[in-house]
Amino acid sequence: MEQVIIDKEKCIGCGVCVTICPYRAIVLVDETAEYILKDCFLCGQCQAVCPENAVLLPQLTIKLGLVTMEEGEAAIPPGKTNAAELVTLMRSRRSCRNYRNKPVALAVLEDLVKIGTTAPSGTNSQSWNFIILPTMASLQVLGGMVSGYYRKLNRLAENPFLRFMVKIFGGDRLGRYFRRYHDSVAEALREWDEKGTDRLFHGAVAAILVTGKKDASCPAEDALLATQNILLAAHAMGLGSCLVGFVVEAMRRDPKLKKLVGIADDEEIYSVIALGYPAVNYLRPANRKVVVPRVLRLTETR
């Protein structure tokens, strides 16, 4: 199937698609656009800029197919949205660690995944994959196995001889873990055992796991950009969210955990997003440390 189809009847030969194409895949022939390659990376910019809607990419959907909200038809031009509101939204997203015991509909979680895919990706590879855990029971099963991983890791890290040997042969990873995390993890495990307190998912009722193909050009960046989209959209949709790095770390190290959630050998896990309806109201947006960017005005030294 041809990847990019140009309707010659509709094309007015304006050439905008030619100038926008990162692949140089379109040329003007007799004042009509022509797609001259067999394939490109299907970014769809040609379709998005055509004033006559003369470009069709049959393999791509025009809409995301959201079911829990209306989807806009037109793109918002630069500068034509409320930037202050967008910034306030960004600052209002917080890591939620207190959720209501109310399920999140699967359709909402599926829409969040679709929204995640609007992120940019290296060479438009869209190398992400998503796994939805739609129930608190699923999180408890995963949490139980993750806590087993950290129980074992804590036992190993408590052994000074082992820390010493690991340092000699493989760097200070175990020692660093011991110094930074051992005590707080031990306390969290104790609370899990004695009171059933979930210090991993903090009582979230669902999660989205974002994975990526290891051999893609930028799998980590792709997955994490999709993740940020999901976090922001979740806030706008009334949900609280929290990244759970402890689960990501455990999944990377323990093949049993990867197997539990069906992550293939050629995939890596990049984020675990806990989700649920928040039981806490943040009244003020996030504060951050002051950053001072370095401003460089480079000049040629030749």
**Residue 104's Cα: distance from chain center in Å?**
19
Q: How far is the CB of 117 from ligand FMN (least distance, A)?
A: 20
Q: How far is the CB of 241 from ligand FMN (least distance, A)?
A: 9
- Smaller CB separation from ligand FMN, 11 or 242: 242
Secondary structure (DSSP) of 71-136: --SSPPPTT-S-HHHHHHHHHH--B---B-S-PPPHHHHHHHHHHHTTS--GGG---EEEEEE-SH
Q: How far is the CB of 240 from ligand FMN (least distance, A)?
A: 10
- Smaller CB separation from ligand FMN, 156 or 280: 280
CB nearest ligand FMN: which residue? 245
Check if the beta carbon of residue 148 is closer than 8 Å to that of residue 163.
no
Looking only at the bridges linking them, the beta strands covering 240-243 and 267-276 are antiparallel
List the alpha helices (DSSP H) in 158-264.
160-170, 173-180, 182-195, 219-236, 245-253, 255-260
Using CB atoms within 10 Å of the CB of residue 294, give its burial: 0 to 12 exposed, 13 to 18 middle, 19+ buried. Answer: exposed
Q: How far apart are CA 121 and CA 81, in angstroms?
A: 24
- Smaller CB separation from ligand FMN, 130 or 246: 246
Q: Which residues, including other chains, have CB under 8 Å from residue 168's CB and lie 6 or more apart?
A: none
- Smaller CB separation from ligand FMN, 166 or 207: 207
Q: How far is the CB of 251 from ligand FMN (least distance, A)?
A: 12
- Smaller CB separation from ligand FMN, 19 or 197: 197
- Smaller CB separation from ligand FMN, 130 or 201: 201
Site residues for ligand FMN per CB under 6 A: 94-95, 97, 242-246, 286
Q: How far is the CB of 42 from ligand FMN (least distance, A)?
A: 30
Q: How far is the CB of 96 from ligand FMN (least distance, A)?
A: 8
- Collapse the DSSP code of 245 into the 3-class scheme (helix H, G, I; strand E, B; otherwise coil) and give the result: helix
